[in-house]
A and B are shown apart, each in its own frame.
Chain A
């Protein structure tokens, strides 16, 4: 890490002109080592996309420097563009072109040798499980297929640094897992990856290091294991008809008394422990109205790591639990 492939120092960016500027980046510092995967984790409006846009030369920072593969993103933008791949938050594909046409066009613009275009496009279509749909226009693709193609388009020339902005937002769980496998394969190839995400689980699954970003600043940084240790485990969340019932079950299980009808029991999410908890509930003679296994949310993480809730977040949808 002495010689990171991406190094950003003190990035500032405001939008909205001089009269009423809104500070979107408020001194972002980042480092990405060779072959490393860094997840930028943060709620809506945290500045994830803006950071990626600065690093991929699309936006000029007001202050600060960023160097990608040895080239300054402002003064040597063209050099940077030769070594990066970008798959942004919003689809960068043509709906009325087929999968193959989309990739072939991007391959030509990426200046692949003419002879290599066809073979490389076929190779990526195959690797991303799109060979069967290669001749179909993109408007017939599912969300997951479209994302995979969008990702493939950013990989045509084996970028040294890949930027993925929320690669799985909006995908169903199955497509999300498929996308993770695909991204894992790219990373195994040695590409350095900076991805942004709103999902703790995604950062855990893909990243070597996580930088939590909120209000345009990196507010915490560490390995997923460190973060998880501090954030705590998943919980079994049980909703009872009355507070009294929840309280009774809490004392039976030996967990702190809840203030409401909802009882949270920490768990490592293993089958054995979840069964143990549920058996305890049954033994106490209580019947929950509903229950679910709940992973720590982004809010939980921010609260645990920074002592305050994320400013932009409202992200309390139940997350799948990685057992």
Chain B
């Protein structure tokens, strides 16, 4: 093998500053995840159909029977966004387990890339995918009559909070992905992610729940996220009454997202660095 391309000596001392490589390496990792997802017809199909199915289910099947004081489509759309994001995040956990079940994770770790970039690549790719899904949900909602008279700033805020939620649960999914041993176990996260929005103000007002469930609903992270997004987009609270100042709710929502994100990503990086040792 003659060497036409001289790449020798790259590793000998003159290594580029490591932190300069974190961003491009993360982008490369994310590009890989996205490319693999694009080539998985099942995942693509589900990602496209799920928003439509859930929307139809809630608006046309349940919607007629649920009384929320406003039109149910507007009420439920933020919840559907979160449901779909939860599904996307659970896919990330499964993808991580699958990576670990082949030799590819070992190859990455034997290369001069920071461990964190493997995880960060998944988070970045998953966030991108889920934002696309979010757009699809909104498009479906708009096509069946969802209207919002929110201004650009309110929309920006809503997208920001949804993005924060997506990043947070993706980080949680990353933790599950590095702890779980089998794809089935990682899939268990999907269950939790799909369950949380149901026990929140996403689809029914918590006031209608029994006291104990209501306690859970009012103190779990999905509720402030939903309240903020709904308040920003349609100006109503979970009881269907107009909301005033959303600042406090938004702060609680963002605090939850930041907390979940930082704790789970730190834990995931810790586990990842020690796994297989």
Contacts and interface: CB of A to CB of B under 8 A. Distances in A.
Interface in A86-102: 86, 88-94, 96-97, 101
Contacts of B109: 57-58
B11 interface: yes
A248 to B, nearest CB: 54
Given A83-B12, A88-B106, A94-B104, A59 B24 contact: no
A158 B4 CA distance: 12
Interface in B82-112: 102-104, 106-112
Interface in B192-251: none
Majority-rule SS of B interface residues: loop
A90 B113 contact: no
Interface residues of B, number: 37
Interface in B1-50: 1, 3-8, 10-12, 15-16, 18, 21, 24-25, 28-29, 31-32, 35-36, 39-40
15 contacts: A58-B109, A94-B36, A96-B35, A105-B28, A111-B16, A112-B10, A113-B7, A123-B1, A123-B4, A127-B1, A137-B39, A153-B107, A156-B7, A157-B11, A189-B1
A116 B28 CA distance: 16
Nearest to A137: B39
Contacts of B36: 94, 96-97
Contacts, number: 107
A78 B18 contact: yes
Given A105-B31, A158-B8, 11 more contacts: A53-B106, A81-B111, A91-B103, A92-B102, A92-B104, A108-B25, A109-B25, A109-B29, A111-B112, A120-B7, A158-B7
B276 interface: yes
Interface string A66-92: 000000000000100111101011111
B104 A96 contact: no
A105 B107 contact: no
A25 interface: no
Contacts of A96: 35-36, 39-40
Given A59-B277, A90-B102, A81 B110 contact: yes
A116 B5 contact: yes
A56 interface: yes
A116 B107 contact: no
Nearest to A186: B1
A158 B11 CA distance: 10
A186 B36 CA distance: 31
A93 B57 CA distance: 40
A92 B28 CA distance: 16
Interface in A119-161: 119-120, 123, 127, 137, 153-154, 156-158, 160
A60 B5 contact: no
Interface in A181-233: 185-186, 188-189
B35 A89 contact: no
Contact of A58 (B21, B35, B40, B110): B110
A305 interface: no
Contact of B110 (A56, A60, A116): A56
Contacts of B1: 123, 127, 185-186, 188-189
Nearest to B27: A108
B110 A110 contact: no
B35 A97 contact: yes
